[in-house]
Each structure stands twice: as C-alpha cells, then as structure tokens.
C-alpha cells in the first residue's frame, strides 16, 4: 500500500542556511544498506518492508512510534562476531545497548555471552535463562546488594572498578564461601576519538583504575592477596562509536605491558584480557564501520605481537560489542504530524515521538538518517529537521536531512540504526509512553517489549 502524496509541500531545495547544505546526490528513495538492517527493502509499490512485512501493515498493527528489530540481522551479526573471534576468544554482548528476554535467548542460541551493568540487567539475563557463568558484571558503583546477587548467582566474572570494590567483592565472596572470578578495569590513558560523554579511557573520568601512577598495579597486588578473589585478567574499554582502530591498539599494548609487569612482580601470567566494546556503526552514509573479522584480526594481531615481544603466553581475548550488534538491526517508525516550513531556514517535520524515544541527538549531537517509507516520491528534496512532540526546542531526532518536498501529515518516516541506546535510554518525559520493540523475522512480527500504557504510568504514581 502506498500513501497518497500531498500536492502543495514546501519547496526549499535551493534555499539552504549557511550555504553549505547541498541537495543529496542520491535518490531519496534509495535505502543505503549501510544504515538499514539487512532485510529492509522497498516493495513494488515503493513501501519499505522489513522481514517481508510492509511498514504500513506494521504501523497499523503495532502503532507508531515503534522500534522494529530485524531478528535475522541481529542473529547474523552475533554469528559474525562469534565466527570472527573464533573459539579462542569470547564475545560478550553489551546489554546496555538494548536488552530484553528475547534478546537474551537469541544470544544464547547464537553462542554469545552477556555483559550486564546493573541489577536490572542481571535480573533480565537470569530470568531469561542465561547461564550465570556466561555473564560478566560491570559498573563503577555496584551496590552491595547487586554484588551479592551476582556472586550468589555465580556470574562468570565481575569487573572490578575501584579499590573499594576489590574489598567489597572479596568480603562478599568470602561470606558466601566462594572464589569469585574477577577482572580489573584499567584506564589506559587513551583519548578516543568520539564524543566526550562516551569516551572512557582518558584519566579524568569516573571509570576504572588508572595505569598511570602505578594505581592499576596496586589494584592487582590487592586483588592477588585478598581471599575470595580469582583474578583472571585485565579489562579496558576506551569509549563508544569509535572507527579508528589506533585507540584499541594502544590500549591492547598497554594492557599487555601490565600483564608483563604482573608476571615480573608476582610470577603470575593472567590468562585473559578484555578489550571492551565501542566499535562504531553507520548512522549515515558518511560513516564507514569496520567488519567484525577486520576488528578481530587487528586486535588479535596486536595482542599476539605484543605478547611475543614480552615473552608472554597469548591470553584469551574478550570483547564487548553492544552497538555494533544491535544498532544497525532496528529502525524507529514515526508518523508525520505537522510540517512547518521556515522560509530561508528549513522545514520542521514533527513526529509522534522524539527525545523520549531517541535522546542521542540531544545528548551527543548524534547524526541520523531518515527516509519517507510509506511510499516513494519523485518530488524534489527539501532540507528538514525532524523533531518530536516534547516541550523543548532541543527535542530533535534528526538534525539535518532531506525528505521529499511533497511530504505530508500521515506519511510514515523511519530513522534507521536506532537499535542501540534508544529504547534502552528512553524516558517518560512529558509522560510519553515508551514505544514497543517489535521483532520481525520471515514474515512474522511479534512484540518483544510492549508499548507502555497510561495505566503503567499511573500504577507507579501512588500519591
Ligand atoms: N563494555 C563496556 C565496559 C561499556 O561501558 C560499554 C558501553 C560497552 C562495552 C559497549 O559499548 P558499545 O559497543 O555499545 O559502544 N549511550 C551512549 C553509549 C554509552 C556506552 C557505555 N558503555 C550512546 O548512545 O552512544
């Protein structure tokens, strides 16, 4: 089904602010496979389909706004990561990107492990049957209750993030009569090329224990002496949405240096290193992400080389991709509500969601793509800003993009690459109801996280 075109749309193709926006060279109807999930295509009528289902049907059945997650793409990406790293490494999916019971089951079926960073994520993982030994527990300020629950459940590793936590986990493990496998998270002093809020390996931030000043070496000393802990390795995560492998290489090199120092001081060769997550994905056609096999090769080459020169056995490597697995697999579907052409500036297109379902644009200046998906159009491109319905002018979903100038209220537009850090960072701002996540696969669509209702909102309001 294709929706009717609106005849009298605003025409701004040749009126761009600041003079540096040029109309796109490509046909607006084309869907760049870099930013759309793998089963997305247009049908004969020009409507977008995912998993073989047309968007208008999805909108009718599940409403808008909604996230549609391409399950076969998600599974394929899990397999690509597992295959790229092979049997001598471990891939932990970072649940903070997006977690639900269905996702936990897919991970298990595809042979991945899971990184959780809160009691809530741990509860979801355990509830959905993830074996505890395949869970890594992260966080810079885990509560005592969270640590107890993780140790009791028998999680495969706890990533220690501070001196206090080394002592806390040791006490709790002793009290529970177990020896908890742990890693120590170090900050390697790398400035990752990404937004300040998602860079994590420079020294002036809250995560980990600095390699500088011998802090990390001191943490290792304590972890090796305290009872209840089995130190299995060193962990480093340099940040998020990173394309350049150089930061990972520096990080791997510094972690291996620490392993060599530990061997020299304690006579112990720690068997594992975890290089974290943070691999970038394509949000727009400008982005060029690396494939998992290239990343795996780059990381394992550097670790092997550094270990050889330090005379160390090569440790088992683990990685924690979140965004790179789930990010590209989903898009958010919106209905266009109002359209405001601002002469000489741009056209504001308001949709039925906004910063409550995608805070990334407001928070990190993130860039997204957008397409008209309920139909194709040959109208000339107009420069738009896609905005939400919240009471805030920073409520921007897509800052600068082009849509056909015959766009009309009632059209469906979609923003690709919203699988990571959108539903998981969604809020109830303005008492918005958080959208559902619908998994689509082989002509079947099913809700895996349902839409919030006003009853859900009011249930919490007990005053
Ligand atoms: N491992 C650790 C220890 C992490 O802290 C993170 C992300 C990951 C793995 C996964 O990183 P990924 O592969 O997904 O980039 N809300 C921000 C991202 C924050 C990431 C926090 N930690 C965003 O929307 O860009």
292 lines ligand 1 (CB under 6 A): no
Contacts of 139 (CB under 8 A, 6+ apart): 117, 118, 146, 159, 161
Q: Whose CA is nearest to atom 6 of ligand 1?
A: 277
Angle of CA points 65, 68, 72, to nearest 5°: 180
Binned at pLDDT 50, 70 and 90, residue 20 comes out as very low
186 pairs with which residues across the strands? 209
The pLDDT value given to residue 195: 63
Is the distance from CB of 57 to CB of 444 less than 8 angstroms? Answer: no
The stretch 230-237 carries a mean pLDDT of: 97
| Residue labelled with tokens 């100038």 | 405
The pLDDT value given to residue 14: 45
pLDDT in tens, 362-387: 999 999 999 999 999 999 999 999 99
Task: Specify the pTM.
Answer: 0.94
Examine the pLDDT at 404 and tell me if it is beyond 60. Answer: yes
Is the distance from CB of 61 to CB of 445 less than 8 angstroms? Answer: yes
- Average pLDDT over the chain reads 93
The pLDDT value given to residue 4: 34
The pLDDT value given to residue 13: 41
The pLDDT value given to residue 7: 34
The pLDDT value given to residue 205: 82
The pLDDT value given to residue 198: 60
97 lines ligand 1 (CB under 6 A): yes
Binned at pLDDT 50, 70 and 90, residue 196 comes out as low
The pLDDT value given to residue 22: 65
Is the distance from CB of 187 to CB of 200 less than 8 angstroms? Answer: yes
Q: Which domains does the chain have, with CATH numbers?
A: 12-70+328-460 (2.40.37.10), 138-321 (3.20.20.10)
93 lines ligand 1 (CB under 6 A): no
Examine the pLDDT at 278 and tell me if it is beyond 60. Answer: yes
CB atoms within 10 A of CB 344: 9
404 lines ligand 1 (CB under 6 A): no
359 lines ligand 1 (CB under 6 A): no
CA distance 276 to 251: 10
Measured in Å, residue 359 CA sits from the centre of ligand 1 at 15
The pLDDT value given to residue 346: 95
Binned at pLDDT 50, 70 and 90, residue 204 comes out as confident
Binned at pLDDT 50, 70 and 90, residue 201 comes out as low
Report the half-sphere exposure of 353 (CA within 13 A, side-chain side).
29
Examine the pLDDT at 115 and tell me if it is beyond 90. Answer: yes
Examine the pLDDT at 430 and tell me if it is beyond 50. Answer: yes
Taking alpha carbons only, the member of 410, 409, 369, 404 closest to residue 10 is: 404
The stretch 97-111 carries a mean pLDDT of: 98
Question: Is 391 labeled as catalytic in the residue annotation?
Answer: yes
Measured in Å, residue 441 CA sits from the centre of ligand 1 at 26
Binned at pLDDT 50, 70 and 90, residue 193 comes out as low
The DSSP string of 342-381 is ETTTEEEEEES--TTT--HHHHH------EE-SS---SPE
Best mutation site among 323, 324, 359 for ligand 1 pocket (most ligand atoms within 8 Å of CB): 323
Best mutation site among 136, 157, 184, 240 for ligand 1 pocket (most ligand atoms within 8 Å of CB): 240
Angle of CA points 373, 376, 377, to nearest 5°: 125
The pairing of strands 113-116 and 412-416 is unpaired
The stretch 144-165 carries a mean pLDDT of: 98
């Amino acid at each position: 089904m294709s929706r009717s075109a609106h005849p009298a749309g605003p025409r701004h193709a040749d009126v761009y602010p600041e003079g540096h926006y040029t109309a796109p060279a490509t046909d607006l109807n084309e869907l760049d496979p870099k930013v759309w999930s793998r089963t997305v295509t247009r049908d004969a009528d020009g409507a977008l389909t995912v998993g073989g289902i047309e968007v208008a049907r999805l909108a009718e059945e599940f409403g808008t706004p909604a996230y549609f997650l391409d399950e076969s793409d998600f599974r394929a990406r899990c397999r690509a990561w597992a295959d790229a790293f092979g049997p001598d490494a471990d891939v932990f999916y970072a649940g903070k990107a997006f977690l639900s019971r269905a996702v936990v089951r897919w991970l298990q079926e595809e042979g991945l492990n899971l990184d959780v960073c809160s009691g809530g994520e741990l509860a979801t993982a355990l509830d959905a049957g993830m074996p505890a030994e395949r869970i890594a527990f992260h966080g810079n300020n885990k509560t005592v209750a969270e640590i107890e629950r993780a140790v009791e459940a028998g999680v495969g590793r706890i990533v220690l993030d501070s001196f206090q936590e080394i002592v806390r986990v040791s006490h709790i493990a002793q009290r529970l009569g177990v020896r908890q496998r742990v890693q120590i998270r170090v900050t390697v002093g790398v400035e990752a090329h990404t937004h300040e809020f998602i860079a994590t390996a420079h020294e002036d931030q809250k995560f980990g224990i600095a390699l500088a000043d011998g802090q990390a070496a001191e943490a290792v000393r304590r972890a090796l002496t305290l009872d209840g802990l089995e130190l299995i390795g060193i962990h480093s995560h340099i940040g998020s949405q990173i394309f350049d492998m150089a930061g990972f290489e520096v990080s791997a090199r510094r972690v291996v240096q620490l392993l060599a120092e530990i061997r020299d001081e304690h006579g112990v060769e720690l068997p594992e290193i975890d290089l974290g997550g943070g691999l970038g994905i394509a949000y727009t056609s400008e982005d060029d992400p690396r494939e998992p096999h290239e990343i795996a090769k780059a990381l394992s080459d550097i670790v092997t080389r550094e270990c050889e020169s330090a005379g160390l056995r090569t440790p088992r490597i683990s990685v924690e991709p979140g965004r790179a697995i789930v990010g590209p697999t989903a898009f958010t579907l919106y209905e266009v509500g109002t359209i405001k052409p601002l002469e000489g500036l741009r056209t504001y297109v308001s949709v039925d969601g906004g910063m409550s379902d995608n805070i990334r644009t407001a928070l990190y200046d993130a860039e997204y793509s957008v397409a008209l998906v309920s139909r194709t159009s040959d109208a000339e491109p107009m420069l738009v800003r896609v905005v939400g319905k919240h009471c805030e002018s920073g409520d921007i979903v897509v800052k600068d993009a082009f849509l056909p100038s015959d766009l009309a209220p009632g059209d469906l537009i979609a923003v690709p690459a919203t699988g990571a850090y959108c539903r998981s960072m969604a809020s109830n701002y303005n008492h918005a109801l958080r959208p559902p996540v619908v998994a689509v696969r082989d002509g079947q669509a099913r809700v895996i996280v349902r839409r919030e209702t006003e009853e859900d909102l009011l249930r919490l309001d007990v005053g």
